[in-house]
Structure formats: C-alpha cells, structure tokens
Amino acid sequence: MTRPMDRAAAVPPTARPRLLYVDNLRTALTLLVVLHHAAIAYSNIPRWYYVETAADPSGTLLDVLLLLNQAFFMGTFFLVSGLFVPGSHDRKGTGRFLGERLLRLGVPLLVWLLLLRPLVTFGAYAEARDAAARQGAELPYWQYYLHSFTPGPMWFVEVLLVFSALYVLWRHLAAGKEGHTSGTAPAPASSPAPAPAPAPATGRAPGAVAIVGFTLGLALVTYLWRIVLPMGDPLPVLDLPTPAYLPQYAALFAVGLVAARRGWLEGLSRRTGRTGSAAAAVAAVGIVLLAVGSAGGTAFLGHGTWQSLAMAACDSTLAVGIGLGLLVLFRERLGHQGRRLRFLSTHAYAVYLVHPVVLVALGHALSGVQAPAVAKFALLAVLAVPLCWALAFAVRALPGARKVL
C-alpha cells in the first residue's frame, strides 16, 4: 500500500499566487511600448511604419526621450518575463511548457507576420510601388514584403521564445549532470511532471556589492559587444531593431530566472529601490550629456571609443537602477488590482500585438495636423492608448483568442 507521504511527493508543483504588482508593472511597460513607438513617428529616428520627420527642435526632445526609454524598458520587460518561467516549467513539465510557449508566443508572431504587418506597411508599400513605377519598374507586394522584412515589435516575442528554449535546454543539461553524478537517469523530455526544482527561497536579495559588480560586468560586456555591433546597426538575418542591447536583455532575463527561484523580489528593501532610482537618475543625465554633447557625432554608438564605454556604463546603470526602483515601487504602492487595473493587465499582451495598427492608422489620420513634433506626439498618445486597449478587448473576444492572448 502506498503511504500518504509518497502520494504527496508525487503531486506536481502547485501554482504560486500571482504577484499583482508584477502584473501591474508589465502593464506599465506595455504602455511605455505604445508611447515609445508613438514618439518615433515624430522624431528624427525614421524607424517606424509611419513617420513624419521632425521639422522643429522639439523633435530632438523626442529623440532624447527615446534614447532614455530604450536604455531600460525592454530590458525590464525581459526581467519580468524571466520571473514567470521557472515556476511555469516546474508546474507543466518540458513538453507542455514548450507547447504553451509556442502557442502563446509563436501564434501571435505568425498573426503579426501574415496579417498585421501587411496592414501597417501598406502606406510604405504604396510609396515604394509608385517610386518604382516612375522608373519604369514593377514592385509586387511579395517582393516588397521580403525585401523590407523585419519582425517589427514582435522581435521581443521572437527573442523570448529563444530564451525560453535555452532555459529548457539548460534545465535538462543540469538534470542530466545531476543524474550522472548521483547515478540515476534523468526524466525523459516528454515527462508531464518532472521532479520539481528546489522550492523558491525566501532569503535575502543581493547586496550592494553584488549589484554593483553585476552592473559593471554588464557594462563591460555591452561595451565589447558594441565594438562588433554598434548602436543603430541591425543584426544580420534576424534584423532585430536594437541588437546593441542584447547583452542587457539576456542578462536581465537570467536575473529574472534566478530571482524567481531565490525569492529576491520580496527581499528587496526600500533603501535598495531608492538607491537604484537615484543611480538611474544620474545615469540618465550621463546619457543625455553623451548624446547631446556629441553634436551629431557617433562616437558613443560603439567601435571601442571611450564615449561608447561611458554610454555602456550609463545604459547598464539606468537599466539595473530603474529596474530595482520600479520593482520596489510597484510592490509597495501598486500591489493590488481593482476592476480597471485588472482589465488593463488582462489585455496588455493583446495591446502589444495590435498597437502598431492603431498608431499607423491614427498617424495617417493626423497627417494634416500642423503642430510641433512633441505636440503631435502628445495628441497621438492621448488618442492611441485607449483605442489600443479597446481594440485588444475586441480581439480577445474572438473565438479561441483568449487561449493565446
């Protein structure tokens, strides 16, 4: 007869309570994504599906805001994403975990590539087709689509899918090593409920020395990476929009994995949050001085210059510092969800998917409005944010959409 304690040991790991403040932080980051792309439309950085190059000095202000936001917001997104991965893998096992990753990440990626991207590139294609016609050539859409291919905003989903697969590979390699050391065979990859990893600890978060050491290490790796791939250069084949920040994305995703396992979030003190925020503010000033002080130069972008080293240090300090500050702020002040916050959180992923359609449509609709760049950005943002959540609500109402979004 099986003993009760044996039966209990066979029960797969149970779901931990949702961290509402982390959900709320993810919603805020989604809002920043929408605002970031709205700002690009009227900046001097022509990397969006609808652009009006700034004709007044306020466009430079948008450039600076974009540079500061880029230094931390997607890295923080990867940090938050990493927090959910270990527990999800523990509960579901490798097969189900990867299946759900493919469903929740792969399907939206395909929807974007096959349906939404053609919608947001229609205006650019019409201009390219007319330009080709004036030269006596034809430009079918399929040719334009392949020539101009990028994953767009869904690059984040693409990279997150790769990171998730690498995490699974690491888990199985680690399990195989343990099994070899102990003389037991590792569980097969198809096992629905692998042996649970150690329960998340409730111990201390890293101290000041560890945080500073991590930040310096990240800055050094980023500096070296940008010698080969400077800021603004695309990554061959994948064509990611911001590959210069890949060391930050990978490092903060890994921090999220470890933080979830060791219970670092609850161990972060208010003092750590305040110190991180202060360091981030100083780093932000450094980024502005480097960018504005360059007077149109490119030394801070990479290629091994001292300005590139300074920018890597400021980027890394801003990312780590503001990540600490936001986690503590949301834990202390925004650890609850009423009806409105729950609605925003529930539809945030769908907003991430559909927001380019809203921004591009509104951009064309506002094209006749004559105003400074920063004013048009503010107008677009005020109109786009509620419309993004309204469209996300409609999309999630479609049959089967809630299983994915």
Contact 318, 72 (CB under 8 A): yes
Looking at residue 362, its pLDDT comes to 96
Would you put residue 183 in left (φ > 0), alpha (ψ -120 to 50) or beta? left
What's the Rg (C-alpha) of the chain?
Answer: 23
Report the percentage of the chain scoring pLDDT > 90. 67
CA 260, CA 86: separation in Å to the nearest integer? 7
The average pLDDT across 216-227 equals 96
CA 151, CA 156: separation in Å to the nearest integer? 9
Looking at residue 203, its pLDDT comes to 60
The average pLDDT across 190-211 equals 62
119: which residues sit within 8 A by CB, 6+ positions away?
A: 357, 360
Contact 70, 36 (CB under 8 A): yes
Q: What is the dihedral of CA 48, 53, 57, 58, to 10 degrees?
A: -40
Looking at residue 61, its pLDDT comes to 92
Length reported for the chain: 405
Query: What are the tokens at 341?
Result: 């916050």
CA 364, CA 375: separation in Å to the nearest integer? 16
pLDDT higher than threshold 50 for residue 196:
no
Q: How many CB atoms lie within 10 A of CB 229?
A: 17
The average pLDDT across 165-180 equals 81
Looking at residue 144, its pLDDT comes to 85
pLDDT higher than threshold 80 for residue 14:
no
The average pLDDT across 59-78 equals 94
Looking at residue 298, its pLDDT comes to 81
Looking at residue 23, its pLDDT comes to 95
What's the one-letter identity of residue 31? Answer: L
Q: How many CB atoms lie within 10 A of CB 80?
A: 21
Looking at residue 151, its pLDDT comes to 86
Q: What is the dihedral of CA 396, 400, 404, 405, to 10 degrees?
A: 10
Give the start-end residues of each E strand in 276-400.
none
pLDDT tens digit string along 265-301?
Answer: 989 999 999 999 999 999 999 999 998 876 567 888 9
Query: What are the tokens at 302?
Result: 């990479």
Looking at residue 53, its pLDDT comes to 83
pLDDT higher than threshold 60 for residue 189:
no
User: Using the 8-state DSSP alphabet, how is residue 77 labeled?
Assistant: H
Confidence bin at 328 (pLDDT 50/70/90): very high
CA 266, CA 335: separation in Å to the nearest integer? 12
SS3 45: coil
Looking at residue 149, its pLDDT comes to 81
Looking at residue 9, its pLDDT comes to 40
Residue-wise burial string across 321-352, b where 16 or more C-beta atoms lie within 10 A, e elsewhere: bbbbbbbbbbbeebeebeeeeeebbbbbbbbb
pLDDT higher than threshold 90 for residue 128:
no
Confidence bin at 8 (pLDDT 50/70/90): very low
Looking at residue 356, its pLDDT comes to 97
Looking at residue 192, its pLDDT comes to 41
The average pLDDT across 172-197 equals 56
Query: What are the tokens at 19?
Result: 């961290």
pLDDT higher than threshold 90 for residue 201:
no
pLDDT tens digit string along 293-319?
Answer: 765 678 889 899 999 999 999 999 999
CA 116, CA 57: separation in Å to the nearest integer? 33
First to last CA, the chain: 45
Mean pLDDT of all residues in the chain?
A: 87
Mean pLDDT lowest among 19-23, 68-72, 182-186, 275-279? 182-186
pLDDT tens digit string along 17-36?
Answer: 678 999 999 999 999 999 99
pLDDT tens digit string along 354-398?
Answer: 999 999 999 999 999 999 999 999 999 999 999 999 999 999 999
Q: What is the dihedral of CA 307, 311, 317, 319, to 10 degrees?
A: -170
The average pLDDT across 57-77 equals 93
What's the one-letter identity of residue 384? Answer: A
DSSP 180-236: HHHT-PPPPTT-SSPPPPPPPP--PPP-HHHHHHHHHHHHHHHHHHHHHS-TTPPPT
Nearest residue to 376 via CA among 387, 389, 363: 363
CA 8, CA 154: separation in Å to the nearest integer? 41
